[in-house]
């Protein structure tokens, strides 16, 4: 084997270069025989090949290899998409349907006195309190439930969540009064706590940062479709009012609960486990190896919990702007989901309950359109997520102004459609951005904790809009819910400011390689301990 062959057959070519002789290898002013033989084998062709190796030739090989690897990864992630995304989509559809169906139930069969408020003899305060209690369950239990997700098998925990969601939903059929409704809504929030941050964490285990936002957006469309389907099925179930002694909304929740429990059992066999498992289904052994190589810096088999890890995430100041981003947009989204039919009734009191249900559905189809249009840009330009988030949020604000101040009823309904389109991408961007930031700094526990805190504390916005606005503010009905809409505009403004603050804070903390704090805690923030990085 000559020198050139040895040179290009080694990973580290420098290891095969002729080694300069030491003093002991020189005898009578002559080089050692071995070193002279190596030099003789370096002919003109070898020298030319070595020259090429230092210039463009290996770069073209590396470029071609990178393209082939990218194509292989695209195929692998498509296989994962076909297995994971439909399962998550169905899971989120079923977990979201309950809230949308409840919003419809506030007006279902109201012309014959069989809506939830009339059947249970609820006051405006009862309605707003029961609605808010649903999100109180989220807030209290999101973090502990997501830590269970982090510690246990993801598919087992997701299956448990959806089965119990269906079980609690069927209990609404037996509710007879306001305290019963409040208890049912609280336990509904409790059992579904962790589903949204859990799915964001699950996606982060299987997909890198630049592929995650679009995937979160894919299954987030389930919430919009479930809201639209809830409106359409609400119109259908109103036709069953009185059958076997049940009202339309009771039939709705009975059928939904039974179907949900059945699907929950199937999810255990549908979803793959962790990427580090013995069988990375649905990938072949070769694909699993390529995927593992692509995710090697993100997969951490250590799932031990400790107070040090817990407080390490909690002290990181990056979490708070993300929570406030979520606070505003999710508060607005939940407010519209729960009270869209109430707003529509105020726009035109002559619209029938069935018409209200049918007008409710397109809002969430527009929301889905916003997800599909905007989230790919959030992945492609992932360094500018804050700008894309603010763009979507400004669309929601425009829609609220149209809904509030337009002169004609159909135009005001069009404002709700604009709101739906703007809402679509805001939550997926917030969750994927949070997962990306905290995985780099804190690993898997960082993603689990951060997504749970963003979702849990951010849902205080849902409590605000559910309890204090619309039905919770009866005097505002005479103003066409103008002030409620303007409060939501203020919340959205807070979200936009928080997105800007998050980017500025990350810059000064050194996330972009310019400057860094000694650590990311509040203590270092107030002390202003800034150090320059040296590269």
Domain spans in the chain, listed from the N-terminal domain onward: 3-57, 84-275+306-527
Closest Cα partner for 337 from 89, 103, 106? 103
User: What are 321's two structure tokens?
Assistant: 């702007």
Average per-residue pLDDT in the chain? 78
Based on the number of CB atoms within 10 Å of its own CB, is 277 exposed (0-12), middle (13-18) or buried (19 or more)? exposed
When pLDDT is averaged across residues 1-16 and rounded to a whole number, the result is 44
Residues 153, 158, 159, 165: what is their CA dihedral angle, to the nearest 10 degrees?
150
When pLDDT is averaged across residues 437-463 and rounded to a whole number, the result is 81
**What CATH number belongs to 84-275+306-527?**
1.20.1250.20
| Confidence tier at 277 by pLDDT (50, 70, 90) | low
In 358-458, DSSP assigns E strands to none
- Contact 41/2 with Cβ under 8 angstroms? yes
Q: Between the ranges 59-63, 177-181, 470-474, where is the mean pLDDT highest?
A: 177-181
| Confidence tier at 379 by pLDDT (50, 70, 90) | confident
For residue range 91-147, list pLDDT tens digits in order: 989 988 888 788 778 888 777 778 888 888 888 788 888 887 887 877 888 778 877
For residue range 489-508, list pLDDT tens digits in order: 999 999 999 999 999 988 88
User: What are 397's two structure tokens?
Assistant: 């604000």
pLDDT score recorded for residue 299:
54
Q: What is the DSSP letter of 395?
A: H
When pLDDT is averaged across residues 297-311 and rounded to a whole number, the result is 64
pLDDT score recorded for residue 382:
78
In percent, the amount of the chain with pLDDT more than 70 equals 80
Q: What is the DSSP letter of 121?
A: T
For residue range 200-246, list pLDDT tens digits in order: 788 878 887 777 777 877 887 887 788 778 878 888 888 888 788 88
User: What are 222's two structure tokens?
Assistant: 């389930």
The counts of H helices and E strands in the chain are 21, 2
pLDDT score recorded for residue 82:
85
- The C-alpha atoms of residue 222 and residue 98 are separated, in whole angstroms, by 13
């Amino acid at each position: 084997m000559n020198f050139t062959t040895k040179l290009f057959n080694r990973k580290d070519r420098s290891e095969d270069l002729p080694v300069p002789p030491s003093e002991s290898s020189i005898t009578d002013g002559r080089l050692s025989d071995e070193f002279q033989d190596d030099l003789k084998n370096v002919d003109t062709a070898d020298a030319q090949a070595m020259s090429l190796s230092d210039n463009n030739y290996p770069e073209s090989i590396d470029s071609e290899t990178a393209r082939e690897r990218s194509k292989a990864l695209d195929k692998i992630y498509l296989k994962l998409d076909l297995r994971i995304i439909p399962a998550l989509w169905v899971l989120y559809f079923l977990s979201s349907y309950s809230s949308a169906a409840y919003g419809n139930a506030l007006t279902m069969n109201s012309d014959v006195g069989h809506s939830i408020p009339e059947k249970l003899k609820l006051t405006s305060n009862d309605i707003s309190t029961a609605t808010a209690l649903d999100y109180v369950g989220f807030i209290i239990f999101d973090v502990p439930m997501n830590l269970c997700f982090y510690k246990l098998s993801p598919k087992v925990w997701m299956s448990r969540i959806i089965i119990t969601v269906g079980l609690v939903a069927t209990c609404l059929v037996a509710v007879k009064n306001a305290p019963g409704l409040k208890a049912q809504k609280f336990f509904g929030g409790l059992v579904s706590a962790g589903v949204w941050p859990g799915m964001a964490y699950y996606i982060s285990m299987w997909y890198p940062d630049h592929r995650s936002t679009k995937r979160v957006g894919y299954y987030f469309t389930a919430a919009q479709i479930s809201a639209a389907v809830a409106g359409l099925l609400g119109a259908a179930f109103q036709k069953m009012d009185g059958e076997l002694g049940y009202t339309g909304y009771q039939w709705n929740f009975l059928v939904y609960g039974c179907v949900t429990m059945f699907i929950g059992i199937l999810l255990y066999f549908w979803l793959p486990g962790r990427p580090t498992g013995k069988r990375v289904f649905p990938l072949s052994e070769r694909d699993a190896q390529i995927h593992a190589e692509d995710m090697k810096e993100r997969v951490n088999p250590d799932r031990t919990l400790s107070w040090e890890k817990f407080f390490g995430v909690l002290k990181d100041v990056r979490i708070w702007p993300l929570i406030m981003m979520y606070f505003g947009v999710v508060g607005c989204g939940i407010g519209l989901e729960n009270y869209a039919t109430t707003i529509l009734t105020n726009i035109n009191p002559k619209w029938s309950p069935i018409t209200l249900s049918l007008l409710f559905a397109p809002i969430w189809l527009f929301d889905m359109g916003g997800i599909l249009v905007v989230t790919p840009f959030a992945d492609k330009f992932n360094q500018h997520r804050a700008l894309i988030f603010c763009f979507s949020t400004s669309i929601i604000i425009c829609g609220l102004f149209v809904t509030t101040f337009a002169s004609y009823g159909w135009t005001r309904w069009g404002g709700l459609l604009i709101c739906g389109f703007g809402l679509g991408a805001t939550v997926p961007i917030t969750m994927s951005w949070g997962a990306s930031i905290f995985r780099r700094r804190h690993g898997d526990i960082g993603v689990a904790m951060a997504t749970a805190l963003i979702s849990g504390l951010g849902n205080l916005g849902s409590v605000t809009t559910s309890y204090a606005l619309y039905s919770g503010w009866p005097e505002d009905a005479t103003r066409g819910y103008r002030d409620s809409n303007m409060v939501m505009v203020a919340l959205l403004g807070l979200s936009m400011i928080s997105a800007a603050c998050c980017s500025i804070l990350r810059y000064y903390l050194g996330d972009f390689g310019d400057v860094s704090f000694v650590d990311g805690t509040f203590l270092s923030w107030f002390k202003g301990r800034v150090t320059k990085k040296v590269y």
